[in-house]
A and B are shown apart, each in its own frame.
Chain A
Amino acid sequence: MRRRDVVAPVKTDKSRFQRIENPDDIWLDENTDFPIKKFFFSNREVLFEFSGNKVKNPSLELKDTVYFGVRRCDLNGIMHQDMVFLDDNPDPFYKARRDNSILFGLHCKEGDEYCFCNSVGLKDFFDLMMYDKGNHYLIESGTEKGLVFLDEFKKFFEETAEMISDNDRKIKNNKKLSTTNIKYMYGNESWEDLAKTCLSCGACNLLCPNCHCFTIQDEIDFDLKSGRRVRVPAACQSKGFTRVAGDHIFRETRVSRFKHRIYHQIQYFKERHNEIFCTGCGRCIRGCPVRIDWVKKINEIKDGN
Chain B
Amino acid sequence: MATKEEIIARNPYLPELKEINYYKRESPDSFTIRLKWKLNHGAGQFIFCSLPGIGEAPISICSYSPEYVELNIREVGNVTNALAKLKKGDKLLVRGPYGTEYPLGALKGKNIIIVGGGCGVAPLKGVIEYIERKREKFGDVSLFFGFRTPEFALFSEQMKSWKKTFKLHISFDKIENPATCTTGIQGFVTQLVDDNVKDSNNAVAVLCGPPIMIEKTAELLEKKGFSDKQIYISAERLMYCGIGKCGRCMIHGKYTCLDGAVFRYDELKEHMD
Contacts and interface: CB of A to CB of B under 8 A. Distances in A.
Interface of A: 47-48, 50, 52-53, 55, 57-58, 60, 62, 84-85, 87, 89-93, 95-96, 99, 212-218, 220, 224-225, 227, 229, 231, 234, 236, 241-246, 250, 256, 260, 263-264, 267-269, 271-272
Contact of A218 (B14, B55, B244): B55
Given A53-B17, A90-B10, A95-B7, A263 B253 contact: yes
Given A48-B13, A245-B77, A218 B52 contact: yes
B14 A55 contact: yes
A96 B244 contact: no
B248 A242 contact: yes
B247 to A, nearest CB: 3
A47 B8 contact: no
A223 to B, nearest CB: 10
Which 7 A-B pairs have CB atoms at the shortest separation, nearest pair first? Answer: A245-B77, A268-B253, A213-B247, A220-B53, A50-B52, A47-B13, A216-B240
A214 B245 contact: yes
Interface in B1-60: 1-2, 4, 7-15, 17, 50, 52-57
B87 interface: no
Contacts of B1: 99
Contacts of B8: 57-58, 60, 92-93, 96
B143 to A, nearest CB: 25
Nearest to B17: A53
B273 A256 contact: yes
Contact of B240 (A57, A91, A214): A214
Interface of B: 1-2, 4, 7-15, 17, 50, 52-57, 76-80, 91, 93, 236-238, 240-241, 243-248, 250, 252-253, 273
Contacts, number: 128
Contact of B243 (A89, A95, A256): A89
A91 B245 contact: yes
Nearest to B243: A89
Contacts of A216: 13, 55-56, 240-241, 246
A212 B56 CA distance: 20
A184 B50 CA distance: 42
Nearest to A87: B244
Given A53-B17, A55-B93, A236 B4 contact: no
Contacts of B15: 55
A194 to B, nearest CB: 18
Contact of A268 (B11, B240, B252): B252
B247 A48 contact: no
B246 A213 contact: yes
B99 to A, nearest CB: 13
A57 B14 contact: yes
Nearest to A224: B53
Contacts of B76: 245-246
A242 to B, nearest CB: 6
Contacts of A224: 53
Q: Main SS of chain B's interface residues?
A: loop
A57 B244 contact: no
Given A92-B8, A213-B246, 7 more contacts: A55-B17, A218-B50, A229-B56, A231-B13, A245-B78, A250-B237, A263-B253
24 contacts: A47-B13, A55-B93, A57-B14, A84-B244, A85-B245, A89-B12, A89-B244, A91-B12, A92-B12, A95-B7, A99-B1, A212-B245, A212-B247, A213-B247, A216-B13, A218-B50, A218-B55, A231-B246, A234-B247, A242-B237, A245-B57, A250-B237, A260-B250, A269-B253
A48 to B, nearest CB: 5
A214 B247 contact: yes
Contact of B14 (A47, A91, A214, A243): A47
A215 B238 CA distance: 10
Nearest to A236: B247
A260 B247 CA distance: 11
Contacts of A231: 13, 240, 246
Contacts of A217: 55
A92 B11 CA distance: 6
Contacts of B78: 245
A285 B245 CA distance: 25
A48 B17 CA distance: 14
A53 B93 contact: yes
Contacts of A242: 237-238, 248
A216 to B, nearest CB: 4
A46 B100 CA distance: 28
A90 B243 CA distance: 9
A55 B237 contact: no
Given A217-B55, A250-B237, A271 B253 contact: yes
B12 to A, nearest CB: 6
